[in-house]
Amino acid sequence: MEKIVVIGANHAGTAALNTILDQYPDREVTAFDQNSNISFLGCGMALWIGNQISSSDGLFYSNKETLEKKGAKIHMETEIKYVDFDHKIVYATAKTGEKYEQPYDKLILATGSLPIIPQIEGIQLENVQIVKLFQHAQEVIDKLKDNSIKHVTVVGAGYIGVELAEAFKRNGREVTVIDCADTCLSGYFDPEFTDKMKTRLEENGVQLAFGETVKELTGDTKVKKVITDKGEYDTDMVVLAIGFRPNNAIGKERLELFRNGAYLVNRSQETSVKDVYAVGDCATVYDNAIQDVNYIALATNAVRSGIIAAHNACGTNLETVGVQGSNAISIWGLHMISTGMTLTKARRNGYDAAATDFEDYQKALFIESGNYKVKIRIVYDKKTRIVLGAQLCSDYDVSMAIHMFSLAIQEQVTIEKLKLLDIFFLPHFNQPYNYITMAALSAE
């Protein structure tokens, strides 16, 4: 019986395990994970911290028992000591001290990513927190039971940082967000959109300190002050949301790596070593927006890559169609969605890119309630006319529109194709001259 070993059992690893167990029952499947739980939806942490959900129970969608009932051997709280790629053996040690020498025919690495922790003075102080795992979120929530923690400083204004800023405000704390960039969410949106998020944060009482770099944290035993290159901020807790790096500790000397350290994989998720696959945040993706290999750490990408690797490890040839990096955020009712490249990023990548914008109400103007304005931007290549990206922003849920643009980028659709696209009209839903059509018609 062919032996398949999966190292790491969160989103990508769980997807791989479920695919193999459900569709290839004749395989012997073993998984190792360092954590005491699997399948934690980290994207729900902010909702939990902000008391928008009553507990963390719904943030798990699988567990050791469920996977073992399907026939897998799951070793939790077990550290991988070494992988012998030549003889195909995984060496591991459990928390209990038990040691394993697990042979494999196919190996799937789903080691995920690790939080970036700056090497600055004071980083070891109490109440300096990271938020990645379930245990991190639980620790933060437990500490927030202490009413002396009145102010929280979030370092980093990406998706996690902005979501946490809202969460801590909803939890009754004063909040400051610090980032070295001059805005928030700049990796996903152009300034015309990030300005709307900045306004929404400020309207809800979040202090913004953009364009500042944290240099030091001070305090006796607990953190009391954040010192940047431009100012000082009193605080009772610091949460680091700077970003993540691929966890490539296993085999990084042997496997070919991407420029940021991620395992470099082909469209079948196979690494440079035969019969070894890498999935999720530890691996690269094929980015259709730039038509090249890239690194985009998203749970959706992780799940898809796990499914693809599982099929290939079991002998079914399956290749990724690539990704567009589709993403979204909702903060105090402001919904922002994007896919592909921003105009800024497209130009940085060497494209002679342009953007066409339009802003209008979602529904017919005679709809007197529940009608909100929507802002859209479509980014395209001026020479080829191919759509490179799209961004939408509204207090109305317009998230479904981004799926069409994701497919357009994947299939290299031109902006002209969108100009007279068959889009239905009904006053309950949209306008006859809808914002997608009008934005496309407005293109140069």
pLDDT for 358-393, tens place per residue? 999 999 999 989 999 999 999 999 999 999 999 999
Q: What is the mean pLDDT of residues 46-56?
A: 92
pLDDT tens across 170-203, in order? 999 999 999 999 999 999 999 999 999 999 999 9
Q: Is position 48 within any domain?
A: no
**Confidence category of residue 271, pLDDT binned at 50, 70, 90:** very high
Please tell me whether residues 342 and 357 are part of one structural domain. Answer: yes
Three-state SS for 95-115 is CCCCEEEEECCEEEECCCEEE
> Counting every residue, how long is the chain?
444
207-236 exposure pattern, b = at least 16 Cβ within 10 A, e = fewer: ebbbebebeebebeeebbebbbeeeebebb
Percentage of the chain beyond pLDDT 90 is 98
Residue 317, Cα to own-chain centre: how many angstroms?
27
Please tell me whether residues 287 and 301 are part of one structural domain. Answer: yes
Domain termination site, one of 223, 242, 261:
242
Q: Evaluate if residue 268 carries a pLDDT over 90.
A: yes
Please report the DSSP string for 259-306 in residue order. Answer: TTSPBP--TT-B-SSTTEEE-GGGB-EEETTTTEEE----HHHHHHHH
Please tell me whether residues 255 and 348 are part of one structural domain. Answer: no
Q: Is position 12 within any domain?
A: yes
Q: What is the mean pLDDT of residues 10-30?
A: 97
Q: Is position 406 within any domain?
A: yes
pLDDT tens across 64-100, in order? 999 999 999 999 999 999 999 999 999 999 999 999 9
Please tell me whether residues 395 and 414 are part of one structural domain. Answer: yes
Pairing of strands 106-109, 3-7: parallel
Which helix (H) or strand (E) element contains residue 198? helix 191-203
Q: Evaluate if residue 413 carries a pLDDT over 90.
A: yes
Q: Evaluate if residue 343 carries a pLDDT over 90.
A: yes
Q: Is position 419 within any domain?
A: yes
Please tell me whether residues 159 and 304 are part of one structural domain. Answer: no
Q: Provide the CATH number for the domain around residue 352.
A: 3.30.390.30
Q: Is position 320 within any domain?
A: no
- Per the structure block, which two tokens stand in for 442? 């407005």
Please tell me whether residues 236 and 123 are part of one structural domain. Answer: yes
Domain termination site, one of 242, 263, 289:
242
**Confidence category of residue 222, pLDDT binned at 50, 70, 90:** very high
Q: Provide the CATH number for the domain around residue 139.
A: 3.50.50.60
Q: Is position 319 within any domain?
A: no
Question: What residues make up the domain containing 185?
Answer: 117-242
Q: Which residues are catalytic?
A: 11, 43
Please tell me whether residues 104 and 253 are part of one structural domain. Answer: yes
What residues are paired with 28 via a beta bridge?
3
Q: Is position 49 within any domain?
A: no
Domain termination site, one of 242, 257, 292:
242
Please tell me whether residues 256 and 281 are part of one structural domain. Answer: yes
Please tell me whether residues 122 and 238 are part of one structural domain. Answer: yes
Q: What is the mean pLDDT of residues 24-33?
A: 97
Q: What is the mean pLDDT of residues 306-312?
A: 98
Please tell me whether residues 123 and 237 are part of one structural domain. Answer: yes
Q: Is position 47 within any domain?
A: no
Helix axes of 191-203 and 159-170: crossing angle, nearest 10 degrees:
20
Please tell me whether residues 280 and 178 are part of one structural domain. Answer: no
- Per the structure block, which two tokens stand in for 80? 């991988």
Please tell me whether residues 209 and 292 are part of one structural domain. Answer: no
User: Is the pTM above the cut of 0.75?
Assistant: yes
Query: Which residues, 6+ apart, have CB-to-CB distance to 266 below 8 Å?
Result: none
pLDDT tens across 63-74, in order? 999 999 999 999
Are residues 357 and 444 in contact, defined by beta-carbon separation less than 8 angstroms? no
Q: What is the mean pLDDT of residues 4-15?
A: 97
Domain count, the chain: 3
Q: Evaluate if residue 444 carries a pLDDT over 90.
A: no
